[in-house]
C-alpha cells in the first residue's frame, strides 16, 4: 500500500514540476506578492517625487518612525485614512506600500484594497518592508 | 436446421436461473462500489482541474445547459493562476509561503492521479490511503482555521467553493471521507475472497 502511494506521489510530482517551471515568472517562491507587483528600495527611491509612500503599519509604529513623506494608511482605520491618501494622490503617481518586514501581510492587503476598492493602478509593495528601508539607509 | 435467436432464449434463461442468488447480489454490490469509485474520482478530478484551469465560464455554461457555449469555453480553456490556490493555502497560516507554493503546484495533480487510479483500479489501495490522508488533513486544517477565528475560503474546488460556509465544507469533507473509507473496506473484503 505504501509503495503504491509512493508511486502515485512520484507520478504527480512530474506535471507539478512542469507547471512550476511554466509559471516561474508569475509566482514568487519568496513572497506571496507576484514579482511584477513588488519593488526594491533602490528602485522605489529612483522614482523620486513620482512615488507616494504608503505606510500600512499600525498607527503607533508609524508614529515612532516612517519613510520621510510617507502617508499612513492601515486597515484598522481604512475609512478614515483613505480620503487623506486620495487627497495627496494624483494620476500617474506610483504608489509604494510597505509594512514591517518581508513576512508581514499588511502591505499586500492594503495594496490589494487600493487596486480593488480605490481602482488605482501602479500600486507596488516594497520588498522587505520597513526593515529593508532601514538597511538601505544605514 | 439453422437456429434462430429466439430458439436460443430458453437456453439463456436456464443459464441465468442457474446463477446462485448470492452471486447476483455480489455482482450488484460490485457495480455499486464501482459507481462510488467513479463518483469520488469525478469529485477529485474536478477538484484538481478547477485549480489548474479556469473553469468558471465552462461551468456556468454547463449549469445553464448551454452546451454550444460550453464547447466554445472548453476550447478557450486557460490555465488558472496557481497564486490563487497558493494564497488559499497560505491563508490557513499553517505552512510558510514556499511550502504553500509547492503544495499549490503539487496537490491538484496528486488529486487527479489518485482519481485516475480509482477509475482504472491501478495502484488502487495507494490512491485510497493518499486520498483519505489528504481529506483528513484538509478537514483538520479548516477546523483549526475556524477555531482560530480565521475567515478564509479553502479553494478546495476552485472558485466554486469560494462562498461555502464552514458547515458545508465540513459536511462535504466528511461525506467524501466516509465514501473513501467504505471503498477501502469493500476492497479489503474483496481481496479476502
Residue numbers of the domain that contains A33: 26-136
User: Which chain A residue lies closest to B86 (C-alpha atoms)?
Assistant: A32
When pLDDT is averaged across residues A14-29 and rounded to a whole number, the result is 85
* pLDDT at residue A1, as a whole number: 81
Give the residue carrying C-alpha cell 492601515: A74
- Give B19's DSSP letter: S
- How far is A18 from chain B, CA to nearest CA, in Å? 9
State the total domains in chain A.
1
User: Which chain B residue lies closest to A6 (C-alpha atoms)?
Assistant: B126
Query: Is B120 in the A-facing interface, judged by CB distances under 8 Å?
Result: no
**What is the CATH number for A128?**
3.40.250.10
Query: Do B43 and B180 meet the contact criterion of CB atoms below 8 Å apart?
Result: no
Q: Tell me, yes or no, whether A1 lies in a domain.
A: no
Assembly ipTM: 0.71
Q: Tell me, yes or no, whether A11 lies in a domain.
A: no
Q: Is residue A95 within a helix (H) or strand (E), and if so which, with residue range?
A: strand A94-98
Query: Is B99 in the A-facing interface, judged by CB distances under 8 Å?
Result: no
When pLDDT is averaged across residues A29-58 and rounded to a whole number, the result is 87
pLDDT in tens, B139-188: 998 888 888 876 565 556 655 555 567 888 889 999 999 999 999 998 88
Contact A4 B124 (CB under 8 A): yes
Q: Give the residue, B147 or A66, on which the prediction is more confident.
A: A66
Give the residue carrying C-alpha cell 492594503: A110
Q: Tell me, yes or no, whether A13 lies in a domain.
A: no
* H helix intervals, chain B: 5-17, 21-52, 56-63, 67-75, 82-90, 97-120, 124-147, 166-192
Please tell me the distance from the alpha carbon of residue A58 to that of residue A61, in angstroms, as a whole number: 6
Q: Which stretch, A86-100, B80-94, B178-192, has highest mean pLDDT?
A: A86-100
- How far is B43 from chain A, CA to nearest CA, in Å? 17
Please tell me the distance from the alpha carbon of residue A90 to that of residue A79, in angstroms, as a whole number: 19
When pLDDT is averaged across residues A5-33 and rounded to a whole number, the result is 86
Q: Give the residue, B178 or B59, on which the prediction is more confident.
A: B178
Q: Tell me, yes or no, whether A39 lies in a domain.
A: yes
- How far is B41 from chain A, CA to nearest CA, in Å? 15
Contact A12 B90 (CB under 8 A): no
Residue among B157, B162, B166, B160 at smallest CA distance from B48: B157
* pLDDT at residue B127, as a whole number: 95
pLDDT in tens, A88-98: 999 989 999 99
Contacts of B86 in chain A (CB under 8 A): 27, 32
* pLDDT at residue B162, as a whole number: 56
Contacts of A125 in chain B (CB under 8 A): none
Contact B126 A8 (CB under 8 A): yes
Q: Tell me, yes or no, whether A6 lies in a domain.
A: no
Query: Do A99 and A76 meet the contact criterion of CB atoms below 8 Å apart?
Result: no
Q: Which of B123, B133, B183, B191 to mutate to test the interface with A (most CBs of A within 10 A)?
A: B123
* pLDDT at residue B2, as a whole number: 46
When pLDDT is averaged across residues A58-84 and rounded to a whole number, the result is 92
Per residue, the 3-state secondary structure of A118-131, as one string, reads CCCCCEEEECCHHH
Q: Tell me, yes or no, whether A3 lies in a domain.
A: no
* pLDDT at residue B133, as a whole number: 95
Contact B82 A3 (CB under 8 A): no
pLDDT band at B65, cuts 50/70/90?
confident
Q: Tell me, yes or no, whether A17 lies in a domain.
A: no
Q: Tell me, yes or no, whether A20 lies in a domain.
A: no
* Prediction pTM value: 0.65
Amino acid at each position: 500500500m505504501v509503495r503504491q502511494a509512493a508511486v502515485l506521489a512520484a507520478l504527480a510530482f512530474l506535471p507539478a514540476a512542469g507547471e512550476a517551471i511554466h509559471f516561474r515568472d508569475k509566482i514568487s517562491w519568496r513572497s506571496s506578492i507576484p514579482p511584477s507587483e513588488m519593488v526594491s528600495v533602490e528602485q522605489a527611491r529612483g522614482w523620486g517625487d513620482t512615488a507616494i509612500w504608503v505606510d500600512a503599519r499600525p498607527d503607533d509604529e508609524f508614529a515612532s518612525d516612517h519613510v520621510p513623506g510617507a502617508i499612513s494608511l492601515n486597515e484598522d482605520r481604512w475609512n478614515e485614512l483613505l480620503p487623506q491618501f486620495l487627497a495627496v494622490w494624483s494620476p500617474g503617481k506610483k504608489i509604494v506600500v510597505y509594512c514591517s518586514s518581508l513576512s508581514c501581510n499588511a502591505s499586500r492587503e492594503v495594496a490589494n484594497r487600493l487596486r480593488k476598492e480605490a481602482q488605482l493602478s501602479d500600486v507596488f509593495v516594497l520588498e522587505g518592508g520597513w526593515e529593508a528601508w532601514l538597511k538601505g539607509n544605514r | 436446421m439453422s437456429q434462430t435467436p429466439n430458439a436460443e432464449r430458453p437456453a439463456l434463461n436456464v443459464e441465468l436461473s442457474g446463477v446462485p442468488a448470492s452471486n447476483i447480489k455480489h455482482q450488484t454490490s460490485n457495480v455499486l462500489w464501482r459507481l462510488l469509485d467513479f463518483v469520488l474520482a469525478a469529485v477529485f478530478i474536478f477538484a484538481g482541474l478547477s485549480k489548474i484551469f479556469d473553469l468558471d465560464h465552462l461551468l456556468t455554461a454547463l449549469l445553464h445547459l448551454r452546451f454550444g457555449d460550453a464547447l466554445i469555453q472548453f476550447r478557450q480553456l486557460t490555465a488558472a493562476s496557481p497564486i490563487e490556490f497558493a494564497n488559499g493555502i497560505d491563508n490557513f497560516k499553517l505552512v510558510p509561503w514556499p511550502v504553500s507554493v509547492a503544495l499549490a503546484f503539487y496537490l491538484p495533480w496528486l488529486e487527479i492521479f489518485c482519481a485516475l487510479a480509482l477509475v482504472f483500479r491501478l495502484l488502487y489501495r495507494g490512491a485510497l490511503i493518499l486520498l483519505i490522508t489528504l481529506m483528513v488533513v484538509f478537514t483538520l486544517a479548516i477546523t483549526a482555521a475556524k477555531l482560530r477565528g480565521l475567515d478564509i475560503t479553502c479553494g478546495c474546488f476552485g472558485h466554486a467553493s469560494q462562498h461555502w460556509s464552514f458547515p458545508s465544507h465540513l459536511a462535504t469533507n466528511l461525506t467524501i471521507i466516509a465514501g473513501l473509507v467504505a471503498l477501502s473496506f469493500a476492497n479489503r473484503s474483496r481481496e479476502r475472497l
